[in-house]
């Protein structure tokens, strides 16, 4: 009887806990799902003449993502410009992730192998860029790589080049800017993973006559893989929807998905297409997260 009473009390306590949390859960659902629902509804409506929407059901917003309609005969053709923007966004985000990993892994390893008293200082230096507004950091990169910027001035002064490098307003400029902006997001998860790494495993690998490349590939990377996955997610997701960096360093002609969405809601006055693009971006990010999580689970499951 006592055990049944205890079980009944536990169930009652759990039920009361859920009831008490219902207002907070409802608020979170409304705040999170409400805007998404509005955007989805807008994506299946008819665009207004001067922006906004007309409350008439239409799939034109979704069709316009991949196709354009001829203004004379109404035939559909492939939207090459839209596909180019999608490809540029995904490819630049992947390259940014790889670039930040290539720079962030040695940096995180260096910090994790310092004496404990020095690690706090190095981590503090890594987080300093977060204290500055993103727009200011992007303009700082602009001053470095522009025609008369610090980089070209230095290379001309040292005689390495004879004429300034044309980096600004190119995909390379956007890549450099995003790698700089999101580098700390890769370093910090990698440091957390490397900091827990047992350095005795390195000695064991060398004692078994493994080369440095074999130790890196078969010992270090598999163990710190959770940090690699976390850092890749933190870099890839914001890179895919980046707006400020492509706008400043790309000069408007090297547009990414975030800039394309803004164009539809403002100058383009095609809110359904902008809403459909927003939902598409959300689906791409969700797919990327699922792929990363699946890769992490496969790596952590020895029987996978």
pLDDT, position 22 = 82
pLDDT, position 303 = 46
Q: Give the tens place of pLDDT for each residue, 233-287.
A: 899 999 998 999 999 998 877 789 999 999 999 888 889 999 999 999 988 888 8
Give the Å distances, CA to CA, from 147 to 163, 164, 166, 172, 251.
Answer: 9, 6, 6, 14, 14
**Mode of pairing for the β-strands spanning 67-69 and 45-47:** unpaired
Q: Taking the model in full, what pTM does it have?
A: 0.83
Kindly state the DSSP code that residue 26 receives in the 8-state scheme. H
Cβ count within 10 A of residue 201? 13
**Measured distance CA(91)–CA(79) in Å, rounded:** 18
**Measured distance CA(204)–CA(5) in Å, rounded:** 56
pLDDT, position 210 = 81
Tens-digit pLDDT string for the chain (304 aa): 556 767 777 777 777 777 778 888 888 788 878 888 989 999 999 988 887 888 999 898 899 888 887 777 777 888 888 889 999 999 999 999 999 999 999 999 999 988 888 888 898 888 888 888 888 999 999 999 988 889 989 989 988 888 888 888 889 999 999 999 999 999 999 999 998 888 888 888 887 878 888 888 888 888 888 889 889 989 999 999 899 999 999 887 778 999 999 999 988 888 999 999 999 998 888 888 888 777 766 655 544 4
Task: For residue 68, give the nearest of 55, 82, 54, 57 by alpha carbon.
Answer: 82
By the 10 Å C-beta count (0-12 exposed, 13-18 middle, 19+ buried), 273 is classed as: buried
pLDDT, position 288 = 80
């Amino acid at each position: 009887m006592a055990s049944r009473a205890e079980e009944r009390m536990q169930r009652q306590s759990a039920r009361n806990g859920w009831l008490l949390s219902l207002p907070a859960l409802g608020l979170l659902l409304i705040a999170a799902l409400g805007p998404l629902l509005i955007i989805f509804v807008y994506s299946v409506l008819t665009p207004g003449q001067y922006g906004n929407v007309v409350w008439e059901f239409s799939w034109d917003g979704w069709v316009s993502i991949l196709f354009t309609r001829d203004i004379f005969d109404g035939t559909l053709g492939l939207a090459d410009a839209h596909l180019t923007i999608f490809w540029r966004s995904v490819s630049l985000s992947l390259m940014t992730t790889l670039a930040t990993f290539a720079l962030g892994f040695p940096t995180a390893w260096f910090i994790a192998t310092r004496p404990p008293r020095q690690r706090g200082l190095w981590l503090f230096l890594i987080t300093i860029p977060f204290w500055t507004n993103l727009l200011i950091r992007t303009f700082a990169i602009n001053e470095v790589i522009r025609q008369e910027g610090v980089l070209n001035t230095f290379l001309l002064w040292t005689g390495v080049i004879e004429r300034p490098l044309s980096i600004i307003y190119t995909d390379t400029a956007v890549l450099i800017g995003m790698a700089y902006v999101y580098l700390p997001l890769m370093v910090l998860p990698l440091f957390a993973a490397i900091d827990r790494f047992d350095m005795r495993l390195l000695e064991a690998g060398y004692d078994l006559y493994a080369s440095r490349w074999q130790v890196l590939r078969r010992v270090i990377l598999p163990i710190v893989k959770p940090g690699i996955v976390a850092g890749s997610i933190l870099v890839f997701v914001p890179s895919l929807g980046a707006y400020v960096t492509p706008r400043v360093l790309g000069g408007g002609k090297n547009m990414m998905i975030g800039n394309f969405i803004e164009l539809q809601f403002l100058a383009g006055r095609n809110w359904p297409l902008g809403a459909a693009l927003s939902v598409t971006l959300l689906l791409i990010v969700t797919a990327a997260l699922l792929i990363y999580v699946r890769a992490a689970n496969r790596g952590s499951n020895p029987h996978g």
